[in-house]
């Protein structure tokens, strides 16, 4: 299978390159400055030249707080550009895979969100990612993979906690009133490729098994590192971040498990694997 991946230098893009090679796929990776997905003509040219079977869009404006003041830029990347990708994918008969987020939900549900639950994003970032989902759905063949709390090669929460510990911190202050699904980029990449190989279309939630608060995730990182550091729980209000976060954005993965015959491993195992590989 021929795969074209945008945002190929990001956490998921790098993981997709590795997993694609393991699975024997031909991989074309694009990222800034070589390809700006907001340039529809350049996107059409790149996809026409590669003639992929699947276009996997990992490119995104992911600065959640900055998006509150840079809404036009965030929408251009996360929303409008996806329409160009959809048109280019249609032109070569490829499936468009759009990577999306738990931020399309408002976080008020008391149970895990299913794919068909009503969306209600509360942040500019969430609204622009929802726009991207809707643009992707215009492609004749499309797959929207919603994920959450990603960690992999590159800047992420796991590394941020580890850096504080390595700098000698005796304690770390971490938000405890948001719950989500920590997800390892390598595991997500494998799931996305298996879905593409199986010809799955529509929307699928793809996250590691289980859920946690940010504070619980930090505690697991500390436990895995075997260090004596205390997690001091704080509230979202105390963190005082510009963009609203969904308080309970746990994603239901029943459809993923039904489609693939299994789900992703527990997030705790994935954290241990990541720390072991990147120690």
- Annotated catalytic residues are 125
Here the tokens at position 225 are 């590192």
Question: Of 35, 18, 34, 68, which is closest to residue 189 (Cα–Cα)?
Answer: 18
Given a contact cutoff of 8 angstroms between Cβ atoms, the answer to whether 154 and 11 are in contact is yes
Contact 274, 151 (CB under 8 A): yes
Q: Which two tokens stand for residue 83?
A: 């329409």
| Per-position DSSP letters for 196-227, written without gaps between them | HHTT--EEEE--EES-EEHHHHHHHHHHHHT-
Category of 129 on φ-ψ map: left (φ > 0), alpha (ψ -120 to 50) or beta: alpha
Under a CB-based contact definition with an 8 Å cutoff, are residues 118 and 129 in contact?
A: no
Q: How far apart are CA 207 and CA 185, in angstroms?
A: 9
């Amino acid at each position: 299978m021929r795969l074209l991946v945008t945002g190929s230098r990001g956490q998921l893009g790098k993981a997709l390159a590795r997993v694609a090679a393991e699975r024997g796929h031909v991989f074309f990776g694009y990222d800034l400055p070589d390809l700006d997905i907001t340039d529809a003509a350049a996107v059409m040219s790149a996809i026409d030249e590669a003639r992929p079977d699947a276009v996997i869009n990992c490119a995104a404006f992911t600065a959640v707080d900055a998006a509150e003041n840079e809404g036009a830029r965030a929408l251009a990347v996360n929303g409008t550009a996806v329409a160009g990708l959809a048109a280019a994918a249609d032109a070569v008969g490829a499936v468009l895979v759009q990577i999306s987020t738990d931020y399309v939900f408002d976080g008020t549900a008391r149970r895990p969100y299913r794919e068909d639950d009503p969306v209600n994003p509360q942040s500019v970032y969430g609204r622009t990612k929802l726009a991207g989902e809707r643009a992707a759905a215009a492609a004749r063949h499309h797959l929207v993979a919603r994920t959450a709390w990603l960690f992999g090669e590159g800047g992420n929460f796991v590394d941020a906690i580890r850096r504080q510990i390595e700098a000698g911190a005796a304690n770390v202050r971490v938000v405890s009133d948001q719950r989500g699904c920590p997800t390892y980029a390598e595991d997500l990449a494998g799931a996305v490729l298996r879905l593409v190989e199986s010809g799955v279309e529509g929307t699928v939630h793809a996250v590691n098994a289980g859920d946690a608060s940010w504070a619980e995730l930090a505690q697991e990182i500390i436990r895995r590192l075997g260090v004596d550091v205390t997690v001091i729980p704080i509230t979202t209000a105390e963190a005082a971040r510009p963009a609203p976060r969904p308080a309970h954005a746990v994603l239901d993965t029943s459809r993923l498990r039904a489609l693939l015959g299994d789900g992703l491993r527990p997030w705790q195992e994935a954290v241990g694997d990541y720390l072991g590989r990147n120690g």
